[in-house]
Structure 1
Amino acid sequence: MGRYVARRLLQMIPVFIGSTLIIFCMMYALPGDPVRAMMGDQAYDPAVVASIKKDLGLDQPLLQQYVNYMTGLVQGDFGTQIASQRPISDVITDAFPVTIRLTIFAFTFVTLVGIGLGVVAGLRPDTLRDRGLLTLTLVLVSMPSFVLGFLLQYLLAFKWSVTTPTVTDSTDFGQLALPATVLASLSLAYVARLTRTSIAENLRSDYMRTAVAKGLPRRRVIGVHLMRNSLIPVVTFLGIEIGSLMTGAIVTEGIFNVRGIGIEIYEALTRREGATVVGIASLMVLIYLAASLIVDLLYAVLDPRIRYA
């Protein structure tokens, strides 16, 4: 197991470099000039713009800029925002915990409710509750997150006054409940459908008939034999979905005024602040890679037949 983990960690290095290089190139391929955008509509001196670009290293070739950026990143330096002259590490330190709290809230909701609904429907396929779940998930899949966000905001905040329309305190999980629900809606539908399908298929498996024929208690048959085998595809999806929830928070944070990385990425894109976008994206790439490794290790826990040499 230790050798497998070490090998996977080494494989993450070229994946991380390749991912950040692609993001870096895409960001700097966008039209616009971050230094010029900083000056707004006011008149500017081209010599001053050229001097600022030279100080920031933006006059160098793209590959050299990337090497300089990665060298600083290894040393913990994410760079400096052009407009505010604020270290990007400080921006991430302020915004990232907010998104992490929102993501953890949404991920917990997806895991508990999604798997729960999938198990309930999968144990009794082709029944009324099974068809009800499929209808509900179809509605969630078909509805864009911003439509659901504005709809729930109008109903729960403005019409029924159940909650606040925007988040004023990001440390209050009560205020994060509504945006977390909106953020989790699409993932919830996929997890519920995936769990339901996996449960229904494994119910007809030979090992399930054998376990029932041996006279094992129903709780053990479902909780040990059925669930452990059925959750393998669900765990795979959930591992990838952690990063998807963080990136999907951009729309949700905008609707509910949550000052997380989504807002920071949006504002950085409007100002063509490539260093800010790449810095946040690099951190999210690391989260994706770590989640992928954890999922692979969980396979051996769920299925004893899987062993990593």
Structure 2
Amino acid sequence: MGRYVVRRLLQAIPVFLGATLLIFLMMYSLPGDPVRALWGDQSVDPAQIAALKKDLGLDLPLWQQYLNYLFGLFQGDFGTQIASQRPVADVIAEALPVTIRLTLFAFTFTVLAGISLGIVAGLWADRLLDRGMLFFTLLLISVPSFVLGYTAQFWLAFKFQLLTPTVQDSEAFGDLLMPAIVLGSLSLAYVVRLTRTSVVENLRSDYIRTAIAKGLPRRRVIGVHLMRNSLIPVVTFLGTDLGALLGGAVITEGIFNVQGVGNLVYEALNRREGSTVVGIVTLLVILYLAISLIVDLLYAVLDPRIRYV
């Protein structure tokens, strides 16, 4: 197990460097000058712009800027936000807890509702309930997230007044409930369909027939033998989806006025704040790689036949 973990950590190094380099090049290839944009339409002395660029290191060649960013990153320095002249690490530290809270709410909703509905659909495959579930999940997959967000706002907030239309307090569960449901709806649909398919396939397996022939209680057959094998592909998806939820909250946070990382990325893109976007993406890449490793290690817990060497 230890060798496997070390090998995966070594494999993560080129992935990390490649991802950060790609987003770094993409951000600095965008048109516009973020330093000049600080003054808007006002006239400004070019010497001031040049001086600020020199202070921020933006006058250096692109390859040197990237190397400086990497060296600073290993010291915990994510760069400096151009607009506020604050460290990007401080800006992220304020917004990240909000996004993590929203993501965990959405992830919990996806896991509990998705796996439960998928098990029910799989146990009653090809019946009316199963067909209704497949239609419902197909509808969720087909509807864009921003359409679902505005629809949820109209019905749940304005029409029936059950929830607040926008987030007033990022620490209040009631305010984050609706954006969490919207954020996790697409993942919910995939989890339901994946769980349903996995349950149906494993119900036809020989080990399930053997367990039933031995006279084991139905609860034990389903809860122990069926679920442990059926959840392996679901855990794979959920592990990668957790990282996707963290990075995919831009639209949802914008609709519901959630002051998290997604909203921070949106504002930084409008201002061409390359350092802020690169810093956030770097952190998300690190989280994604860590989650991917944890998911692989969970395989051995769900299936004792799996051994890592």
TM-score tier (shorter): over 0.9
Separation in 1, partners of 2:18, 2:266: 23
Separation in 2, partners of 1:253, 1:170: 11
Q: Which residue of 2 aligns with 1:290?
A: 290
Separation in 1, partners of 2:243, 2:158: 31
Matched letter for residue 29 of structure 1: S
Question: Does the alignment pair 1:37 with 2:18?
Answer: no
Shift of 1:47: 2.4
Q: Which residue of 2 aligns with 1:76?
A: 76
Separation in 2, partners of 1:118, 1:25: 42
Separation in 2, partners of 1:7, 1:203: 36
Shift of 1:46: 2.1
Separation in 2, partners of 1:89, 1:283: 10
Separation in 2, partners of 1:167, 1:51: 40
**Which 4+ runs in 1 deviate beyond 4 A?**
none
Matched letter for residue 153 of structure 1: Q
Q: Which residue of 1 aligns with 2:216?
A: 216
Structure 1 residues 16-44: Cα deviation after superposition (integer angstroms, max 9, x where no partner): 11111111111111111111111111112
Question: Does the alignment pair 1:161 with 2:161?
Answer: yes
Name structure 2 gaps, 5 residues minimum: none
TM-score normalised per structure 1: 0.98
Separation in 2, partners of 1:67, 1:245: 29
Separation in 2, partners of 1:45, 1:169: 42
TM-score normalised per structure 2: 0.98
Q: Which residue of 1 aligns with 2:183?
A: 183
Q: Which residue of 2 aligns with 1:247?
A: 247
Shift of 1:45: 2.0
Structure 1 residues 97-149: Cα deviation after superposition (integer angstroms, max 9, x where no partner): 00000000000000010000000000110001100100110110111111111
Shift of 1:183: 0.3
Separation in 2, partners of 1:56, 1:86: 11
Q: Which residue of 2 aligns with 1:275?
A: 275
Matched letter for residue 156 of structure 2: L
Q: Which residue of 1 aligns with 2:129?
A: 129
Separation in 1, partners of 2:57, 2:288: 30
Question: Does the alignment pair 1:139 with 2:139?
Answer: yes
Q: Which residue of 2 aligns with 1:231?
A: 231
Shift of 1:206: 1.2
> What is the 5 A alignment of 1:58-73?
58-73=58-73
Matched letter for residue 6 of structure 1: V
> What is the 5 A alignment of 1:250-269?
250-269=250-269
Q: Which residue of 1 aligns with 2:106?
A: 106
Q: Which deviates more, 104-113 or 7-16?
A: 7-16
Question: Does the alignment pair 1:9 with 2:9?
Answer: yes
Matched letter for residue 224 of structure 2: V
Separation in 2, partners of 1:39, 1:197: 57
Separation in 2, partners of 1:132, 1:36: 55
Partner-residue secondary structure (3-state), 2:307: coil
Structure 1 residues 133-192: Cα deviation after superposition (integer angstroms, max 9, x where no partner): 001101101111111111111111111111111111111111110000000000000000
Identity of aligned residues (%): 72
Structure 1 residues 261-280: Cα deviation after superposition (integer angstroms, max 9, x where no partner): 01100100111110000000
Separation in 2, partners of 1:266, 1:39: 20
Separation in 2, partners of 1:199, 1:39: 60
- Equivalences, count: 309
Matched letter for residue 12 of structure 2: M
Shift of 1:244: 0.9
Matched letter for residue 294 of structure 2: I
Partner-residue secondary structure (3-state), 2:178: helix
Structure 1 residues 210-236: Cα deviation after superposition (integer angstroms, max 9, x where no partner): 111111111111111111111111100
Q: Which deviates more, 170-179 or 2-11?
A: 2-11
Separation in 1, partners of 2:111, 2:17: 31
Q: Which residue of 2 aligns with 1:150?
A: 150
Shift of 1:89: 1.1
Shift of 1:307: 0.3
Q: Which residue of 1 aligns with 2:120?
A: 120
Partner-residue secondary structure (3-state), 2:249: helix
Partner-residue secondary structure (3-state), 1:207: helix
Separation in 2, partners of 1:29, 1:161: 45
Separation in 1, partners of 2:248, 2:14: 26
Q: Which residue of 1 aligns with 2:51?
A: 51
